[in-house]
Structure formats: C-alpha cells, structure tokens
Amino acid sequence: DQQVKQNSPSLSVQEGRISILNCDYTNSMFDYFLWYKKYPAEGPTFLISISSIKDKNEDGRFTVFLNKSAKHLSLHIVPSQPGDSAVYFCAAKSDTDKLIFGTGTRLQVFP
Amino acid sequence: KAGVTQTPRYLIKTRGQQVTLSCSPISGHRSVSWYQQTPGQGLQFLFEYFSETQRNKGNFPGRFSGRQFSNSRSEMNVSTLELGDSALYLCASRRGTDAFFGQGTRLTVV
C-alpha cells in the first residue's frame, strides 16, 4: 500500500521554464514533508521541506506547496536548469516518525 | 562537518552468502535509518535506530537485521542473500525532522 505516490515517473522541461513535480499522500496524520534530489549512484540530497502548518515554503529556485485538504504537495523549480536533471523523491513523516518515500519522478531539463 | 559515510560503496556477493554494511552518521545525529532502493520501487524503509534501539521497522523479512553502536554508527546485515536483494542500500542520519543520506552501498547478488 503506497502511502506516498508520485504518479508521474518522468517529466521533461525546457531550460528556463518551470518544472512542477507532484506528490500525493493518503495519510492525514503525516505532518512533515520533504523533497530530495538524486543523481545516479549517489545518495539522495535534501532539497526543501514543509511542515503541515504551512502551505508554502520557498528556498531560492525551489518552492514547495502543500494542499492539506487535497493531500497533495508539489515542488516548483524556477527557472529550470540542466543541472536539475535528476530523480526527485517526495517523503512524508509519519506519526511514528518514520520517513515514507514516493517512487520518484525523473526530471530531464533540456536546452 | 563530515556527511554520512557508508562502506563499502560496492559489493558483489553470491546467493546464499551474508553481508554486512556500515553507516557512520553525521556527528551529533543519533538516528540512523536504512532504505533499499530498487528500480521502480523508490526508497523502501528497512528500519531505524535511535540511541542503539530499533525505533521503527519496515516490511522486510527477518533476513534483514541491523544494530547501532554507542557512537551512533550502524550496521545492517542481510543473511542468506537472494538475487532480489540486489539494490542500492542507503543510510540516512537525522537530528530532528530532516534526514541526510550517505552515498549508498550498491549490492549485487550473483
């Protein structure tokens, strides 16, 4: 039972445009959400997080939006750069303090 | 400040053998979690240790076990290896809510 879902396995965006990565979750008890970026053969790198008491958090080119009623979060990258090409994972912290990850979305930014 | 260190980076084992992977967390972090990553499956949670105690456990068979030492370093052991255990094994250390990952150990079972 996948509690955190990333329904788009891949996304292709032109350099300079906005990349929007989506994530849905099923458990309303999740209270903290994170986004990670992963290059091949490396560990995931922490990008940005958001608490359930907020609906937006911004850090440079990265903004995460949380819609609790829809149990949906999204990561916006503006402007997208070729170096952003990677697999992006969203994660949710459960009430037992466990991090549950989605299956990832592969982002490709082309010139 | 050193990051999370996992050793070895790569490992090839034969089916039926056992393997031990090591993880040294960021200094000051007492929580260590282990994940298995296989293509199309994302990061599957194995277990989490905090102050030498297993705090959370995922849905993996008993062949997968772990422990944590007093210096917060953690080891993960897989016994009776199967071909399907081939994966990238990732360790993450946490203090608070954000988790930071090591480079992972790529295990290949042949």
Q: Which of A36, A41, A43 sits opposite B102 (nearest CB)?
A: A43
Tell me what pLDDT residue A96 has.
83
Give the separation between CA B26 and CA A72, rounded to whole angstroms. Answer: 31
pLDDT band with cut points at 50, 70 and 90 for residue B69:
very high
Predicted pLDDT of residue B64: 98
Residue of B nearest to A48 (CA): B98
User: Taking CB atoms and an 8 Å cutoff, what residues of chain A touch B88?
Assistant: 41
User: Mean pLDDT across chain A, nearest whole number?
Assistant: 94
Asked if the model's pLDDT at residue B1 lies above 80, the reply is: no
Q: What is the pLDDT of residue A62?
A: 98
Q: Are A87 and A104 in contact (CB under 8 A)?
A: yes
Q: For B12-29, what is each residue's pLDDT tens digit?
A: 999 999 999 999 999 999
Residue A2: is its pLDDT beyond 80? no
Q: Identify the pLDDT of residue A40.
A: 85
Residues 6+ apart with CB under 8 A from B22: B6, B7, B73, B74, B75
Listing DSSP states for A40-94 in one string gives TTS--EEEEEEETT-SEEEETTEEEEEETTTTEEEEEESS--GGG-EEEEEEEE-
pLDDT tens readout for residues B72-100? 999 999 999 999 999 999 999 988 888 89
Q: Which chain A residues touch B104 with a CB distance below 8 Å?
A: 41-43
Averaged pLDDT for residues B38-44? 82
Nearest by CB to A32, from B44, B56, B97: name it: B97
pLDDT at A1 over 70: no
